[in-house]
Amino acid sequence: MLGAAEWAALALSLKVSMVATVLSLPLALWVAWLLARGQFRGKIWLSALVHLPLVLPPVVTGYVLLIAFGRQGPVGGLLEQTIGLVFAFRWTGAALAAAIMGFPLMVRAIRLAIEAVDPRLEAAAATLGAGRWAVFGMVTLPLIMPGILAGVTLGFAKAMGEFGATITFVANIPGETQTLPSAIYAFLQVPGGEAPALRLIGLSVAVAVGAVVVSEVLARRVAKRVGGQ
């Protein structure tokens, strides 16, 4: 039976992960399109920047976020003064850290899906009089939807498991920034904390598996619909 602290960590993890994933998706789709179809100077540098969180130690990413988005940071201070948005040591900061860490995985999955689309299909739709947005909405988007779902699943799973950048940026405050990984870490630091830690580990595995299964089911339905079956 989960205790109050464990339920709070689960609820916060789900909240942080969903916010991070939903807010990241439009930007991930745009960046993936740029990397897959764009022809511009600095493309390789954009790709390197996008994938940087994957190769940097998470603690480094968290420290950079703290410097930039802390209350004394250039971005964080401006946001607090203008719209009252605070990231440091708040759940919003945990969502930001999770979004940044999961963003490369989302972009990668969507980019591969875009690159797999035959441009001749889009060109054929364009010759029939469809505009750029119509081609994207009626041809490209349905074809890349399995890739989008895969990216969303990877981003959500990464957000659920994010620890290093989160704890560096927003600490481990119960009820405010303590997500499932942070709660597991906290329980493992105290005598007798193994039992609740194991419960949370099992819960984390169940949520991750559930997300993958749901994504797989949706991807298969989309593929059947696109294939006309």
Q: 159-180: per-residue pLDDT in tens?
A: 999 999 999 999 999 888 999 9
Helices (H), the chain: 4-37, 43-55, 58-69, 74-83, 91-115, 119-127, 132-135, 141-161, 164-170, 180-188, 194-227
Place of tokens 């964080």: 76
pLDDT of res. 33: 94
User: What's residue 14's pLDDT?
Assistant: 93
Q: What is the pLDDT of residue 165?
A: 94
pLDDT at 137: 83
Top-level class of domain 22-227 = mainly alpha
pLDDT at res. 129: 77
User: For the whole model, what pTM was predicted?
Assistant: 0.88
State the pLDDT at residue 229: 47
- Give residue 169's pLDDT: 94
The confidence score (pLDDT) of residue 215 equals 79
pLDDT of residue 133: 82
In Å, how far are 2, 12, 146, 148, 206 from 196, measured between CA atoms? 8, 17, 36, 35, 15
Residues of the chain with pLDDT under 70: 1, 225-229
pLDDT of 228 reads 56
**99-112 per-position pLDDT tens digit:** 999 999 999 999 99
166, 182 in Cβ contact below 8 A?
yes
